[in-house]
Structure 1
């Protein structure tokens, strides 16, 4: 059984839709996923845990988290829920908030490795209206709709982060070892346009190269070099979709040695050239 859902299947930075599916198989992916229940109820299986989501509940599934959706046998209503898939690393989070957002929506420890669930009775805001606005912007594609989609996702994340902080769960999301790696991911995000050596990152963590490399891959499912390239490619994709900058400029701004190398690596990642990406998803 194939359990990895390729992010490359997302043709744009976001994938947003309503569904009644109650039989998704066990899988994981590199992007984040939010579920909002409009009617009925579903079972969410996440790693070794399980919960039932009912009307008005919101669920956030972390990157790399093994999960599946199943039917709730007690449900007597028709099922409908919204699915919002997005990449945390390309949301353009301001540097001031990167650590807080990553702490809340990227990292978790073995003892808290379950999806984030916010029950409807805990929410004052109308999540349904926000979700519907995001869906309409995404499907109708009005002027600057991608910016509107991103803004809506920000609203949902802020509401969830504030709720988790109120519940006290936010404080326990990192283990001691995570402190080092949080700093490293922040550093990579801030310096992705520069030359980054893995050995230097290992030194920042007071680790040997081999121990750092093994630990990084165990935590994030890919090597540090692959992660750096992944961040650079996602930032480049953002510039392709949101700007008219030349390939040479985009390559330079995202740490690629030249535009030829950038085009070659991008095509290997996406299956299309940067120019084709821009033309197919023109705003």
Structure 2
């Protein structure tokens, strides 16, 4: 018997629009046949909330399969492997999505308390949640209200979305706190072997990161870690670190007028030339050119995948 083919995992970057709290993916363009098989796992740099409007199929959450049907809600943490697979017999499914950075909500709720912020972030990122609308009507109503606000964009919708998102995140904390004890001993296997390394990079990208540290976080030898990481991600650990730094640099450039030297330093590049070289590698343009035309960023980075598989 031959060796089992390893899973392939895709990285999909999404960016919350400037001055907004969520990126909303709504409308008929999300009526589609989802997924191909359970090996086509992907993960996001943001937290994902999905609402199934119609269709049936299964949602693979890490290594667990969950059947879905209309009026179901999924809440999937950052860096959490998953894939949606439509039932071929029932036709296309219709999901709508919200993407957001949980740290923004955490800082709204717990300002000036980095210890609590870190603890809360770890808690909400440790498990995906999936439930029928009737099982948690409060959360479901909030999700649909946010989607409607983002769809209609009436006057003062920014303020409404902010309030709804804070309330939704507080409800999410309640749900996570109820489930913490059940999952403390759960062993990480499969593609989630490298999840600790992904989390490490997300938290420490601005510092000097050695592959040895990532291997240690994942409880592997460095040689074995490099092999496992590249087999899942189709890029080296250092390439992933630099990709994360480029993504963070784009975020800084959208929100500040910092010089390129300062941006490079903030995201962990030791020299501006190294920053320029990596930026060009991933976005095929210079930081300066991107800065004066930032609308190109969402289209380019949205379609960037670590694997060779086509993304959304």
Do both share a fold (TM > 0.5)? yes
**SS of 2:43's equivalent?**
coil
Q: Which structure ranks higher in relative contact order (CA pairs < 8 Å, sequence separation ≥ 6)?
A: 2
Deviation per residue, 1:113-139 (Å, 9 max, x gap):
xxx412212214253444443564488
Name the residue aligned to 2:25.
16
Name the residue aligned to 1:127.
140
Name the residue aligned to 2:244.
231
Name the residue aligned to 2:75.
60
1:179-190 to 2 correspondence within 5 Å? Answer: 184-190=197-203
1:182-221 to 2 correspondence within 5 Å? Answer: 184-202=197-215, 207-217=220-230
* Alpha-carbon distance in structure 2 between the residues aligned to 1:141 and 1:249: 38
**SS of 1:29's equivalent?**
strand
How many residues in Structure 1 have an aligned counterpart in Structure 2?
263
Verify the 8 A CA contact 1:91 1:150 in the aligned structure 2.
no
**SS of 2:42's equivalent?**
coil
- In structure 2, the gaps of 5 or more residues are 1-7, 18-22, 108-116, 298-312
Deviation per residue, 1:88-144 (Å, 9 max, x gap):
799887433332233125xxxxxxxxxx41221221425344444356448849899
Q: State the superposition RMSD in angstroms.
A: 4.5
* Alpha-carbon distance in structure 1 between the residues aligned to 2:242 and 2:145: 34
**SS of 1:54's equivalent?**
coil
From 51, 76, 99, give the equivalent of 2:122.
99
- Normalised to the residue count of structure 1, the TM-score between the two structures is 0.67
Is 1:44 the counterpart of 2:44? The answer is no
* Alpha-carbon distance in structure 1 between the residues aligned to 2:215 and 2:11: 29
> Is the alpha carbon distance of 1:186 and 1:152 closer, same or farther for their aligned partners in structure 2, counting shifts above 3 Å?
farther
Quote the offset at 1:71 in angstroms: 6.6
Quote the offset at 1:162 in angstroms: 3.2
Quote the offset at 1:12 in angstroms: 5.7
Stretch deviating more after TM superposition (254-263 or 59-68): 59-68
Is 1:159 the counterpart of 2:171? The answer is yes
* Alpha-carbon distance in structure 2 between the residues aligned to 1:174 and 1:243: 41
Name the residue aligned to 1:266.
279
